[in-house]
Chains A and B, each alone.
Chain A
Amino acid sequence: MPYIPHTEKDIERILKAVGASSVEDLLGALPSRLRLAKDLDLPKGLSEQELAGILKDLSSRNSTTREYASFLGAGAYNHYIPAVVDSLISRSEFYTSYTPYQPEVSQGTLQAIFEYQTLVCQLTSMDVSNASLYDGASAVAEAVLMARRITGKDAVLLSSALHPEYRETVRTYMAGASDHVSEVFYCTEAGRTLPEAVEAALTGDTACLVVQHPNFFGSLEDVEALSRVIHAKKGLLIVVTNEAVSFGLLKPPGETGCDIAVGDNQSFGNPLNYGGPYLGFMAAKSEFVRQMPGRIVGETVDKNGKRAFCLTFATREQHIRRERATSNICTNHGLCALSCAVHLVSLGATGLRKLAEHNLFKANYLKEGLRAIRGVDIAFGSPVFNEFTIRVDKDPEGVLKALLKKKIMGGVLLKRFYPELDRHILVAATEMNSKGDIDRFVSEIGKLLQ
């Protein structure tokens, strides 16, 4: 039997040691009246070779972002992952260990997380970071709960230019209190959140404003102006970033008045993987650290005074505070955080900047190409990073379908999330899109809209 080393002789030795006459006898802890009478109705076990063949076959029934030129983004970004990432995270001392409860045999994981926390603080310009959360959406939900705890206020104001699935996640987490969640509508001209609209929607009971930057439409928000408005009402500002490569160029949340920065670091070192696992991050001002959810690693010394790392502030967590914990999170996305750290370290300061610029230029090149096409409009006037929204003159669904025939995944249809954006497509470009691909996309969409 795969992975189970016991021979019949071994089984006999166990039975003898425990004084049982048979396996059945030993299973006495499980009363026979509760036992399953028949076998599980599952496929027969496979040899490793057969299994590999079946999985290969299943995988080949998918089409990849390598086979198609993909301009899909919307919270999941196609980036190049250097070979060092998989090589290093494949070291099984990393991936076959668990939460570093025993620091003396987990210094590798602990130091790596401590460095990851530092990297997140550097990217976001915030004071403290946790060890990771599940993904961007659940990180936003956790940030909202945290803001409510800190402020003692109830209401939550979401920008409608926050990723629709993130908004839905916040509402799900708020369950019983979802009446307290409201949205401020984006400006249909600029495709971003206007401070005056926020001001009108705020009340004295608003715990936090949540804005995404760059937002779901790709537009850059005026975070500083939004910060002034929410802070005037003594609420907290939560800034969400799910295209983390933008940190390479854009003024970070910590410099624009953000109180809690959250989002997804998938863009660094984590493959698309059909939606997961991704990498929720959270960083905050230091005064909020006791209200943060999730693991936090700290630096200390061992009994001989040597530098060492361990989990700290554990009293916030479920295994100690139980129902009064800051969150129920236990397992997080440690290995994804390691992938992110390795990618960031291998890029370095220069590489990060260059990567961000490359993305900006690619998106700009595509945007200008599309702008020149008759039948395509750039939907919103705001500056963008590597993603933007277009409006097409024909049925956008038909356009995207026709592009598929040309091996192009042309973007995400927005009608599904915003009924009023019924001719709109969200388009992203990264360093993975060659000039040739972009030219082909522009030319094909041009032909379709003629």
Chain B
Amino acid sequence: MTIDGAKGLIMDEPLIFERNSEGRSGVLPAPCDVPEADLESLIPKSLLRDGAAGFPEVSEIDAVRHYTRLSQWNFGVDTGFYPLGSCTMKYNPKVNEAVSRLEGFTMLHPYQPEALAQGALRLMHELEAYLCEISGMDAVTLQPSAGAHGELCGLLMIAAYFKDRKRPRHKVIIPDTAHGTNPASSHLAGFKVVPVKSEGKGVLSASAIEAVMDEDTAALMLTNPNTLGLFERNIKEIAAIVHKKGGFVYCDGANLNAVMGLAKLGDLGVDVVQLNLHKTFSTPHGGGGPGSGPVGVRKALEPYLPAPRIRKAGKKYSLVYDRPRTIGRLKAFYGNFSIMVRAYSYIRRMGGEGLKRASIVAILNANYMKERLKDTLSLAFDEPCMHECVFSDKLQAENGVTTMDMAKRLIDYGFHPPTVYFPLVVPGAIMVEPTETETLETLDSFIEAVKKIDAEAKASPELLKNAPLNTKVRRVDETRAAREPVLRWKG
């Protein structure tokens, strides 16, 4: 039996099903204002179900308290500093939430006549144009639901391009620093993955690409800035090599937050890029989505974009389905519209100048972090970084302290841990992405915490092994979760 409020905050809350009380309900639907018919006269009994055993039966206030308590055990960007590398956990502006909830956006059916959705279509059309301008691409589709979905879209277009020319290609080159989604998406699109190593300084060299690029290679898939936080400075030369052999350069745009207004990927030889609106364009991550992963392409690939496209003729916007060379579609309807509203709102609020400033300050913050921490944590590459930097646990390892221990201890100091153990090329990686929305005072307090933890690693490593100490649950037994899987409540 839990005594609510015994610790001031309620740290125990059963599963909702364990609060069931037969016959109780929260918000019942409106009474039916048409005559009720005999069920079995409408649907044969053999097609009807008995109830769903164990389905919730709780009052409205219990449901509200349940989810409110759950929320209190979560750490979000609004809770505190969340330097999760590669995820761009920047502030999610409240005005975006407000405008995305306007009835004129939420209460639109995807199949309502286009004439009755001109505002929505215009917003999408303009957002496409903004994203083209920012990325230097010729056309953008807003359809994909997330970054990985966008990757698949881009790779399918590349595959279709070669198939169309009756010269299908079978390989995609991917650097060893890539996100796991890159090889997974390539495989899904039917390609064989050719890995390539970055050179000594953490970036790709033209010669490494030259050595593997051939006429069966459809694309080079890279991330720029890469996952080490370094700018692929040989990108133009690399792109030239790929293009010379008739291939495409795909850029994973997960790290676009570092280059808005500073460089256009299209100018650097990139042919396809997916943009993660939930990273760069401030839309919230939602505890794991929904995101949105628009894809930009150069002219050659435009015919392959998913259908429908949005057309503007005069002042009228319409959806165009007649696309003979399209790859098809990746989902029903047009994409995650309400996420587009938020991203549109962000771009309009920032303007071109604001976006550039965001990228510059993101780089400044990351370099500040790198310089202030490089004597405490081992730096993977001591090079000027872009919007994130990668450390490791090399210095603490002699006390038997690992990246995981330090990550967990940071929680006790009130911070969300950075991304850990990624990229794989840096053993014990600690990837810190502060973003531009954090103040120097916040960065200073994080830096101070890391230094304290380093001191603790020397003086009392056990403390770190036991961390976190202050959370609702202590270190979670993930081995047991996998060995004795319990994937649902069974009562």
Given known A276-B145, A334-B288, A348-B56, contact A3–B91 (CB-CB < 8 A) = yes
In the complex, chain B residues whose CB is within 8 Å of the CB of A80 = 29-30
In the complex, chain B residues whose CB is within 8 Å of the CB of A168 = 328-329
In the complex, chain A residues whose CB is within 8 Å of the CB of B64 = 84, 87-88
Is B471 within 8 A of A105, CB to CB? yes
A21 adjacent to chain B (CB < 8 Å): no
Is A36 within 8 A of B267, CB to CB? yes
Is A409 within 8 A of B48, CB to CB? no
CA distance A109 to B67 in the complex (A): 10
In the complex, chain A residues whose CB is within 8 Å of the CB of B471 = 104-105, 107
Of the 9-residue stretches B205-213, B243-251, B452-460, B476-484, which lies at the interface with chain A? B476-484
A308 adjacent to chain B (CB < 8 Å): yes
Contact of A289 (CB < 8 Å), options: B267, B385, B487: B487
B300 adjacent to chain A (CB < 8 Å): no
Given known A29-B363, A31-B233, contact A302–B475 (CB-CB < 8 A) = yes
In the complex, chain A residues whose CB is within 8 Å of the CB of B93 = 2-3
Given known A93-B74, A361-B35, contact A334–B152 (CB-CB < 8 A) = no
In the complex, chain A residues whose CB is within 8 Å of the CB of B297 = none
Given known A34-B235, A331-B289, A333-B145, contact A98–B87 (CB-CB < 8 A) = yes
Is A275 within 8 A of B37, CB to CB? no
How far in angstroms is the closest Cβ of chain A from B175?
Answer: 13
Given known A30-B259, A104-B468, A331-B146, contact A297–B487 (CB-CB < 8 A) = yes
Is A61 within 8 A of B95, CB to CB? no
A75 adjacent to chain B (CB < 8 Å): yes
Encode contact with A along B417-460: 1 for CB under 8 Å, 0 otherwise: 10100100000000000001111100000000000000000000
Given known A92-B76, A98-B87, contact A43–B348 (CB-CB < 8 A) = yes
Is B29 within 8 A of A361, CB to CB? no
Contact of B28 (CB < 8 Å), options: A97, A330, A331, A350: A350
Q: Which residue of A lies closest to B408 (CB)?
A: A104
Is A299 within 8 A of B181, CB to CB? no
A62 adjacent to chain B (CB < 8 Å): yes
Contact of A275 (CB < 8 Å), options: B35, B95, B190, B332: B332
A379 adjacent to chain B (CB < 8 Å): no
A148 adjacent to chain B (CB < 8 Å): no
Is A275 within 8 A of B337, CB to CB? yes
Contact of B329 (CB < 8 Å), options: A5, A112, A172, A176: A172
A317 adjacent to chain B (CB < 8 Å): yes
Is B489 within 8 A of A114, CB to CB? yes
CA distance A93 to B231 in the complex (A): 33
Encode contact with B along A269-313: 1 for CB under 8 Å, 0 otherwise: 001111111100000000001000001111111111011111011
383-420 of chain A: CB within 8 A of chain B: 383, 385, 404, 409, 412
Is B411 within 8 A of A105, CB to CB? yes
Is B288 within 8 A of A328, CB to CB? no
CA distance A273 to B292 in the complex (A): 14
A72 adjacent to chain B (CB < 8 Å): yes
How far in angstroms is the closest Cβ of chain B from A261?
Answer: 13
B23 adjacent to chain A (CB < 8 Å): yes
A161 adjacent to chain B (CB < 8 Å): no
In the complex, chain B residues whose CB is within 8 Å of the CB of A450 = none
Is B352 within 8 A of A42, CB to CB? yes
Q: Which residue of B lies closest to A129 (CB)?
A: B488
A380 adjacent to chain B (CB < 8 Å): no
Of the 9-residue stretches A50-58, A196-204, A230-238, A370-378, which lies at the interface with chain B? A50-58
CA distance A336 to B339 in the complex (A): 12
CA distance A355 to B338 in the complex (A): 26
Is A45 within 8 A of B354, CB to CB? yes
B8 adjacent to chain A (CB < 8 Å): no
Is B480 within 8 A of A300, CB to CB? yes
How far in angstroms is the closest Cβ of chain A from B233?
Answer: 5
Is B485 within 8 A of A298, CB to CB? yes
A345 adjacent to chain B (CB < 8 Å): yes
Encode contact with A along B195-212: 1 for CB under 8 Å, 0 otherwise: 000000000000000000
How far in angstroms is the closest Cβ of chain A from B247?
Answer: 18
Quick one: which of B370, B408, B488 has the most chain A CB within 10 A? B488
CA distance A224 to B259 in the complex (A): 56
Contact of A176 (CB < 8 Å), options: B95, B190, B286: B190
In the complex, chain A residues whose CB is within 8 Å of the CB of B32 = 357-358, 361-362, 431
Of the 9-residue stretches A6-14, A151-159, A182-190, which lies at the interface with chain B? A6-14
CA distance A275 to B109 in the complex (A): 7
In the complex, chain B residues whose CB is within 8 Å of the CB of A275 = 110, 332-335, 337
Is A274 within 8 A of B482, CB to CB? no
Quick one: which of A10, A117, A295, A412 has the most chain B CB within 10 A? A10
CA distance A236 to B334 in the complex (A): 30
Is B289 within 8 A of A163, CB to CB? no
How far in angstroms is the closest Cβ of chain B from A340?
Answer: 12
In the complex, chain A residues whose CB is within 8 Å of the CB of B72 = 93, 108
In the complex, chain A residues whose CB is within 8 Å of the CB of B486 = 298-300
CA distance A321 to B185 in the complex (A): 12
B320 adjacent to chain A (CB < 8 Å): no
Is A2 within 8 A of B268, CB to CB? no
How far in angstroms is the closest Cβ of chain B from A257?
Answer: 13
Is B284 within 8 A of A95, CB to CB? yes
Encode contact with B along A47-88: 1 for CB under 8 Å, 0 otherwise: 010011011111111111110101010111010101110111
Is B437 within 8 A of A118, CB to CB? no
Contact of B52 (CB < 8 Å), options: A123, A324, A435: A123
Q: Which residue of B lies closest to A362 (CB)?
A: B34
Encode contact with B along A1-35: 1 for CB under 8 Å, 0 otherwise: 11111100011011101111001001111110011
In the complex, chain A residues whose CB is within 8 Å of the CB of B67 = 88, 91, 112, 338, 342
In the complex, chain B residues whose CB is within 8 Å of the CB of A327 = 184, 188
In the complex, chain A residues whose CB is within 8 Å of the CB of B287 = 94-95, 97-100, 106, 109, 112, 334-335, 338
A-B contact pairs, 25 of them (CB 8 A): A42-B347, A44-B352, A60-B104, A61-B118, A64-B104, A68-B116, A72-B109, A84-B64, A88-B68, A95-B92, A96-B284, A172-B156, A175-B160, A272-B109, A274-B338, A310-B476, A312-B482, A313-B485, A327-B188, A328-B185, A333-B145, A352-B52, A360-B42, A362-B32, A364-B37
Give me 18 other A-B pairs in contact (C-beta within 8 A), A6-B439, A298-B481 excluded. A30-B262, A34-B267, A56-B102, A59-B104, A59-B119, A95-B285, A97-B79, A107-B471, A108-B73, A175-B160, A272-B107, A273-B106, A276-B335, A277-B145, A310-B476, A328-B181, A328-B187, A338-B67
